[in-house]
Amino acid sequence: MKIAIVGAGLAGLTAATDLAAGGHEVALFDKARGPGGRMSTRRIETLQGTAYFDHGTQYFTVRDPGFVDQVAAWEAAGVAARWPAAGENAWVGTPGMNAIIKALAAPLDVTWQCRIAALEQTGDGWRLTHDGGNVEADAVVVAVPAEQVADLMPAGAEAWGTLAKSTISAPCWTVMAAFDTPLARAGDVLRDAGPIGWAARNSAKPGRTGPESWVIQGSPAWSAAHLEDDADAVIAALLSAFARATGESLPEPLTAQAHRWRYALSGAAGKTALWDEMLKLGLCGDWLIGPRIESAWASGRALAAVIAER
């Protein structure tokens, strides 16, 4: 089959890898400028060089034996490493979280900056509409966050749209700040301190280069309450909460930016992956299982296995 996959995050790329290995012709489409999804790494130029920030996923844990093997392969390829500061079973992408996504995307046919706006059934397949035109495929996989699924569901798949709409994600305001000297009083990781859900010294993760850089994330409750605040107010609030929690007297940052993730940590729909053999339409993504990297991977793998079985 010629299979079009909407969304080249970890779930879509995992499904694509397995489907391509099974002999299908796979093409992915992603609205972002480049590889990352919610495993993105942002680069910001400063007077002390390029600062790097994993501003989505901070680290991931590994439980399922299949995922253990997958992460061992990433480690052998140099794109993942343990990060003990976050826990015994904590892993990160190297040299940035997005390295895993880049490595998965490299051998595949991915079109970036291509937002799929609609799916339409044709006589014997599918037509996907994007800003620049159309793409035809025999089958379609939708691998986007739950809140973005419903708008894409065509006639016949409304129930999946309803399921996705009822699986609600938590938002996350993320501040990225770099400094010209290391912060001496803070540890590498801070959890649950007032408005802060998580903060980490990004430059202390394995394989990182560049100036002292910090990622400070609002808790889900704080981020929801301040969702429409402007970025400058969020930067001021989270930096001052960080200074209070660590006892640091913060120097003027080399850079400080904020990113609002409206759909950061997914809900859990109680499924693994969905495939309709009649429609030749499938869904995968973290939200079917729960808000973790391992879930996104497991969902993508499960969908490819179901398609292979049929």
Ligand X SMILES: Cc1cc2nc3c(=O)[nH]c(=O)nc-3n(C[C@H](O)[C@H](O)[C@H](O)COP(=O)(O)OP(=O)(O)OC[C@H]3O[C@@H](n4cnc5c(N)ncnc54)[C@H](O)[C@@H]3O)c2cc1C
Quote the distance between the C-alpha of residue 21 and its chain's center: 23
3-state secondary structure of 83: coil
> How would you classify residue 194: left for phi > 0, otherwise alpha for psi between -120 and 50, otherwise beta?
left
Nearer to ligand X, 104 or 178 (CB): 104
CB 233 to ligand X: min, Å = 19
Task: Look up residue 286 and give its DSSP letter.
Answer: G
Q: Contact 175/216 with Cβ under 8 angstroms?
A: yes
> How would you classify residue 43: left for phi > 0, otherwise alpha for psi between -120 and 50, otherwise beta?
beta
3-state secondary structure of 64: coil
Q: Which two tokens stand for residue 229?
A: 């605040």
Quote the distance between the C-alpha of residue 74 and its chain's center: 17
Nearer to ligand X, 51 or 116 (CB): 116
CB 249 to ligand X: min, Å = 27
Q: Contact 127/233 with Cβ under 8 angstroms?
A: no
Show Cβ contacts of residue 271 under 8 Å, excluding neighbours closer than 6 positions.
163, 288, 289
Nearer to ligand X, 57 or 203 (CB): 57
CB 110 to ligand X: min, Å = 10
Residues that bind ligand X (CB under 6 A): 6-12, 29-32, 37-39, 56-60, 115-116, 143-145, 148, 172, 174, 217, 261, 264-265, 285-286, 291-293, 295-296
Nearer to ligand X, 41 or 148 (CB): 148
CB 50 to ligand X: min, Å = 21
Helix, strand, coil percentages for the chain (3-state, nearest 5): 30, 30, 40
Q: Which two tokens stand for residue 301?
A: 């793998």
CB 99 to ligand X: min, Å = 14
Nearest alpha carbon to residue 5 among 147, 162, 150, 126:
126
CB 210 to ligand X: min, Å = 20
Nearer to ligand X, 95 or 145 (CB): 145
Nearer to ligand X, 171 or 210 (CB): 171
Nearer to ligand X, 236 or 268 (CB): 268
Nearer to ligand X, 11 or 254 (CB): 11
What type of residue sits at position 212? E
Q: Which two tokens stand for residue 207?
A: 């394989």
CB 284 to ligand X: min, Å = 7
Please state, in angstroms and rounded to a whole number, the distance separating the CA atoms of residues 285 and 79: 21
CB 91 to ligand X: min, Å = 9
